[in-house]
Amino acid sequence: MANRPVHFIWLLDCSYSMQGEKIGQLNYAIREAVPEMRSVAQDNPAAQLLLRTLTFSTTARWHHQDPVPVENFTWQDVQVDGMTNLGEALQLVARELDTPPMPQRALKPVLALVSDGVPTDDWKAGLRAVDATPWGRKAVRVAIAIGADADRTVLQEFLGNPELQPLDANTPKQLAAAIRWASTAAVKAASQMVAGATDPLAKQPPYAPPVLDDDDDDVW
Amino acid sequence: MPPAALWATLRESVQGVNKPRNQDYCEVAGRGTAEEPLIMAVADGHGSAAHARSHLGSRFAVDLFVEEARRFGALAQPRGDERPPSLAWLMHYAEHAFPRQLVSAWRDKVLGNWARTSSHEEPGLTEEHKVLLYGSTLVGAVLTPRVFAAWQLGDGELTVVDDAGRVSVPLAPAEADLGDETESLCTPEAWLRVRTHWAPVTAPWRAPRLVALSTDGLSKSFASDRGFLQFMAGLDDRLSAEGAQTVRAVLPQWLARASQHSGDDTTLVAAWHQGAPPAPEPVTAHGAPAPDGAPDPDAVPPTDHPAPPTDPHGRDE
């Protein structure tokens, strides 16, 4: 017997536009969110929360390639570099969402996308690849738009649900709150062990986006 | 002194970790005779906010299945001098009429419950939304001396260990749903999604050795299908080696452990065949169906429009 895994994958924009305070805040926010993720995981002992990180810039590469149990997960800062190859990142994720390597008996995976810009490659092909996988279609998806330049249309399309909106993070404080929310609410949504009919009537918004304070002068 | 029971039965359900109530429900009844068919059912209420009354939905599903299954058993082996219907007719009834009648009865039951227990001040809901509140899966089986039939809507497992010890899950879908999504009694036209297993029993010793029905809380506690099948083979081994009484005593612990892994309510009912096969086996064509008459063409509706068939012996439902 085995607990049912929840695969959580961060997709982090590490293009040059994230340079400086943005990448610093991103690293800080995720590091601070890890203990909260552990706490959520402890609330659901039947689920096993496994974390991975994928960065995308001029190329997409795994920052944590193998799924790490949340209790063993330590954050290593990501660095900026070049373009915004979101499509390549989504192609890499799609490979991981196939069965195998994903097990058939698992809870919904979580895909958490954080970006501040406009993709510079064929991101639609990457998104189609994710949507073509059984787990990709079922994944809980969250998207965080950092600053005014982020392409919200792309993020909205990534979410694939008109009832969901990308979360705006226009200040360091909002980014921290958004990361915290993505790290906890999405995990709760994914690890809820309740069945539902596939009938459209039964579809419920998987989670409610938070209202983020906006009393920070430091707007990106 | 009454004859020893042909089937030993098991029945156990444990509540999921951190769950406020157990939304599973189950029943096992009867002896597997013509007069008292063996009937088993498990149902799993969905449990989320959208299905707030699913603990009732699962109970209604099991209770109504038992009623329908008794009716099916009486059809299969009528009392007195009445000639039983052909197996072909019965199979058609099982595949088409039974699911439709069961789903229809369940919908009537839940809508009646809604009407009786809801405040008039509650906002007006459509019929579909009311039914949705009671959403549940169902796995049910009937064993008579003549046929073994089973039905499944949604997740969960029907596991059969045959007389040679082979383990199978005859109602497993071609492609299992990922995650926790499932078909449901609350789905519109749900009878179209019911999967049916049909196996004539050609001789008492050819009946399955073990029939087990379980909710997905059990199967999802294993990392793979293989682990689940091994568990079921082990259950059969333990029953053979130690008897039903011993297994009944440890079953709650096994299910509790499974529930800790799946996080879900976990329910299992099972029937283990205690009859020893005679030796040597009779020299007949193994697997040949019991002799039966040709289907009554007037009683079998066209297959492209499977309305409930008319009972050839005047038992219209």
| Contact of A23 with A14, CB cutoff 8 Å | yes
Q: Is the pLDDT of residue B298 over 70?
A: no
HEC letters along chain B: CCCCCCEEEEEEEECCCCCCCCCEEEEEECCCCCCCCEEEEEEEECECHHHCCHHHHHHHHHHHHHHHHHHHHHHHCCCCCCCCCCHHHHHHHHHHHHHHHHHHHHHHHHHHHHHHHCCCCCCCCCHHHHHHCCCECEEEEEECCCEEEEEEECCCEEEEECCCCCEECCCCCCCCCCCCEECCCCCCCHHHHCEEEEEECCCHHHCCCEEEEECHHHHCCCCCHHHHHHHHHHHHHHHHHHCHHHHHHHHHHHHHHHHHHHCCCEEEEEEEECCCCCCCCCCCCCCCCCCCCCCCCCCCCCCCCCCCCCCCCCCCC
More confident residue, B229 or B180: B229
| Contact of B10 with B272, CB cutoff 8 Å | yes
B84 touches chain A (CB under 8 A): no
How many residues does the structure list for chain B? 317
**Strands of the sheet with B138-143, listed across from one edge:** B24-29, B38-44, B138-143, B147-153, B195-200
Q: How far apart are CA B103 and CA B113, in angstroms?
A: 15
Of B49, B179, B222, the CB nearest to A1: B222
pLDDT at A4: 87
Structural domain containing residue A147: 4-190
Q: Is the pLDDT of residue A214 over 90?
A: no
Q: How far apart are CA B133 and CA A196, in angstroms?
A: 10
Instruction: Please report, for the domain that includes residue A113, its CATH number.
Output: 3.40.50.410
Give the residue-averaged pLDDT of A84-112. 94
Of B16, B49, B154, the CB nearest to A193: B16
**Contact criterion met (CB < 8 Å) for B135 and A44:** no
**Contact criterion met (CB < 8 Å) for A4 and B187:** no
Displacement of CA A30 from its chain's centroid (Å): 11
pLDDT at B277: 54
- The model's confidence at residue A154, banded by pLDDT at 50, 70 and 90, is very high
Of B177, B223, B259, the CB nearest to A103: B223
Size of interface A-B (CB pairs under 8 A): 121
| Contact of A69 with A26, CB cutoff 8 Å | no
Q: How far apart are CA B112 and CA A6, in angstroms?
A: 39
CA angle B196, B202, B206 (to 5 degrees): 90
pLDDT at B224: 86
Domain assignment present for residue A175? The answer is: yes
Of B48, B128, B177, the CB nearest to A201: B128
Domain assignment present for residue A185? The answer is: yes
Q: How far apart are CA B9 and CA A102, in angstroms?
A: 37
pLDDT at B121: 54
Residue whose token pair is 């293009």: A15
Q: Is the pLDDT of residue B295 over 80?
A: no
B27-31, B98-102, B232-236, B290-294: the lowest-pLDDT one: B290-294
Domain assignment present for residue A207? The answer is: no
Q: Is the pLDDT of residue B98 over 90?
A: yes
pLDDT at B119: 73
Q: How far apart are CA B219 and CA B228, in angstroms?
A: 6
More confident residue, A199 or B231: B231
**Contact criterion met (CB < 8 Å) for A195 and B223:** no
Q: How far apart are CA A185 and CA B226, in angstroms?
A: 33
**Strands of the sheet with B7-14, listed across from one edge:** B7-14, B266-273, B210-214, B157-161, B167-168
Q: For residue range A116-150, what is the model confidence (pLDDT) as tens digits? A: 989 999 999 999 999 999 999 999 999 999 998 88
| Contact of A112 with A53, CB cutoff 8 Å | no
Per the confidence metrics, is the pTM higher than 0.85? no
Domain assignment present for residue A197? The answer is: no
- The model's confidence at residue A114, banded by pLDDT at 50, 70 and 90, is very high
Domain assignment present for residue A143? The answer is: yes
pLDDT at A119: 95
How many residues does the structure list for chain A? 220
Q: How far is B288 from chain A (nearest CA, A)?
A: 38
B264 touches chain A (CB under 8 A): yes
More confident residue, B246 or A194: B246
Domain assignment present for residue A119? The answer is: yes
pLDDT at B272: 96
Half-sphere exposure of B183 (CA within 13 A, CB side): 20
**Contact criterion met (CB < 8 Å) for B224 and A104:** yes
pLDDT at A211: 63
Please tell me whether the peptide bond between B282 and the residue prior to it is cis, using omega within 30 degrees of 0.
Answer: no
**Contact criterion met (CB < 8 Å) for B187 and A107:** no
Q: For an interface test with A, give the residue of B178, B189, B254, B261 to mutate (most A CBs within 10 A).
A: B178
Please state the domain count of chain A. 1
pLDDT at A141: 94
> A118 vs A61, A114, A149, A220, B217, CA distance in Å?
18, 12, 8, 16, 44
Instruction: List chain A residues with CB under 8 Å of B180.
Output: 107-108, 192-196
Structure tokens at A216: 């920070």
B152 touches chain A (CB under 8 A): no
| Contact of A167 with A209, CB cutoff 8 Å | yes
| Torsion sign, CA atoms B50, B55, B56, B57 | positive
pLDDT at B290: 32
Whose CA is closest to B212, among B173, B160, B253, B155?
A: B160
Q: Is the pLDDT of residue B171 over 60?
A: yes
> In chain B, whose CA is at the least distance from the CA of A133?
B178
Calculate the average pLDDT of chain A.
88
pLDDT at B131: 96
Enumerate domains of chain B plus CATH numbers. Answer: 7-273 (3.60.40.10)
Instruction: List chain B residues with CB under 8 Å of A138.
Output: 178-179, 181
Domain assignment present for residue A199? The answer is: no
Instruction: List chain A residues with CB under 8 Å of B46.
Output: 194-197
Q: Please list the residues that pair with B273 across neighbouring strands.
A: B7
pLDDT at B50: 86
Give the residue-averaged pLDDT of A148-168. 92
Of B132, B225, B258, the CB nearest to A1: B258
Give the residue-averaged pLDDT of A155-184. 91
- Residue type for B20, please? P
Displacement of CA A111 from its chain's centroid (Å): 4
Q: For residue range A11-29, what is the model confidence (pLDDT) as tens digits? A: 999 999 999 999 999 999 9
Q: Is the pLDDT of residue A199 over 90?
A: no
Find all residues with CB under 8 Å of B151, minimum gap 6, and list them: B65, B94, B98, B99, B102, B138, B139, B140, B141, B171, B194, B195, B196, B197
Give the residue-averaged pLDDT of B153-158. 96
Give the residue-averaged pLDDT of A167-186. 89
pLDDT at A6: 93
Q: Is the pLDDT of residue B276 over 50?
A: yes
Q: How far apart are CA B18 and CA B33, in angstroms?
A: 41
**Contact criterion met (CB < 8 Å) for B220 and A4:** yes
